[in-house]
A and B are shown apart, each in its own frame.
Chain A
Amino acid sequence: MAELAGVFASSHAPLVIRGWKDISAPNQQSLKHAYDELGRRMKAARPDVIVEISPDHWVNFFINNLPAICVGVGEEHEGPGEPWMKACPYKTIAGHPKLATHIAQLAFEHDFEPAVSHHLILDHGFAIPLWKGGFDTLPPIVPIIFNDLEPPLPTVRRCLAWGSMLAEAIRTYPENIRVAILATGGLSHSIGEPTMGEIDEDFDRECLRHFEAADERRLVDFLNERLPTIGNGAAEVRNWVAAHGAAGKRGFELIDYCNVPEVYVGCGFASWNLGARP
């Protein structure tokens, strides 16, 4: 059977790539340290496959056809196509059709109805944390896209349940492989809105405290109350919630939090201690 080898989360601010030279030296150092540590922990988990949860930034889907959740079940996916991601080494990215199909099948059995795709473009949301984390080459990726951008969005509670289902899918996958989960996005930021550029560090710190406290009801209530009141980018915390569900809703360990105004994003980095699972 497969083993859940690690659960991780990371921000994916585009300006970390597109505007690196404009970031102050201390903030560059903070971000580099955080991504290095994320990469170190992920590599230490020795994943044969990474299941990665990220939004689609209007690359694969449009408002004529917009799935709430999509599982990439193909043999191969495309790397990021944004012009400013040209230097990214991931031109094509191997998928893992057997594990991906197993996840999609179990999702249906658990009353989720995800879309599936046999060929996705994995944008900066998927690529930046792995690239900055030092993965020059990648293990196969099972991409899972959450709609975090265009309402109606999946509820926080369903994202948590999706994570629990995902952990079960990995546990029941009949092949002796190590699987890591990486959720990307958040924390607070605002894109294309009047509050663009504002980071709500109070929200971010409280959000991180709720993950650490591992009180499921309070975490869900907090996010239900606060997410609609802050910048649209914080909706990506849903991906962290799924990771939290996969980790058994406990064991959250903050790697670092970097309030970097130059990238417009409250950048969070985390892993979960799977030894804390019930």
Chain B
Amino acid sequence: MRDYWLSKLFFDLQSTPALGVEYRADRSKVLDRYPLKPEVRAAVEKDDVAYLAARVNPYLLRFYFVVCGMPEGEFLSKVRNAGADAAARSSHG
């Protein structure tokens, strides 16, 4: 499943460096321009990698957290845990 506006946010951020600068300075101001569902926006604000991973192309997920400045080790840890979380949810029906 793809969340269109979440995908659009990530796409715009990785393709427009100036927007990335603005986003790092004031995330809310940029997020206000995208009609994100409240639960999606909350996941963005919390850097909830597992939640976001289920809704965007993995490359866009990767690029987004590079733009955000998340350290590589932290992203790798979170994206790997996202897989473990998804497997656990799946095994619990």
Question: Which residues in A have some Cβ–Cβ distance to B below 8 Å?
Answer: 57-59, 62-64, 81, 83, 149-150, 190-197, 232
13 other contacts beyond A191-B58, A191-B59, A194-B80, with CB at 8 A cut-off? A58-B11, A58-B59, A58-B60, A58-B63, A59-B15, A62-B7, A64-B4, A149-B57, A192-B53, A192-B57, A194-B86, A195-B80, A197-B76
Determine which residue in A64, A81, A196, A197 has the highest number of CB atoms from chain B within 10 A of its CB, and name it.
A196
Contacts of B53 in A (CB 8 A): 192-193
Question: Which residues in B have some Cβ–Cβ distance to A below 8 Å?
Answer: 2, 4, 7-8, 11, 14-15, 17, 53, 57-63, 76, 79-80, 82-84, 86
CA distance A191 to B72 in the complex (A): 12
Contacts of B62 in A (CB 8 A): 191-192, 196
CA distance A214 to B11 in the complex (A): 39
Q: What is the chain B residue whose CB lies nearest that of A61?
A: B11
Q: What is the chain A residue whose CB lies nearest that of B58?
A: A192
Closest 4 CB pairs of A and B: A194-B83, A192-B58, A192-B62, A192-B61
Contact A62 B8 (CB under 8 A): yes
Contact A192 B59 (CB under 8 A): yes
Contacts of B61 in A (CB 8 A): 192
Contact A58 B14 (CB under 8 A): yes
Contacts of B79 in A (CB 8 A): 192-194, 196
The main secondary structure of chain B at its interface with chain A is helix
B45 to chain A, nearest CB (A): 20
B60 to chain A, nearest CB (A): 6
B65 to chain A, nearest CB (A): 9
Contacts of B80 in A (CB 8 A): 194-196
CA distance A150 to B53 in the complex (A): 14
Contacts of B76 in A (CB 8 A): 196-197
CA distance A59 to B59 in the complex (A): 11
Contacts of A194 in B (CB 8 A): 79-80, 82-84, 86
A186 to chain B, nearest CB (A): 15
CA distance A58 to B4 in the complex (A): 14
Contact A149 B59 (CB under 8 A): yes
Q: What is the chain A residue whose CB lies nearest that of B82?
A: A194
CA distance A195 to B8 in the complex (A): 24
Contact B2 A57 (CB under 8 A): no
Contacts of B7 in A (CB 8 A): 62-63
Contacts of B15 in A (CB 8 A): 58-59, 81
A272 to chain B, nearest CB (A): 29
A7 to chain B, nearest CB (A): 27
Contact B17 A83 (CB under 8 A): yes
B82 to chain A, nearest CB (A): 6
A250 to chain B, nearest CB (A): 33
Q: What is the chain A residue whose CB lies nearest that of B67?
A: A83
Q: What is the chain B residue whose CB lies nearest that of A60?
A: B15
CA distance A150 to B82 in the complex (A): 20
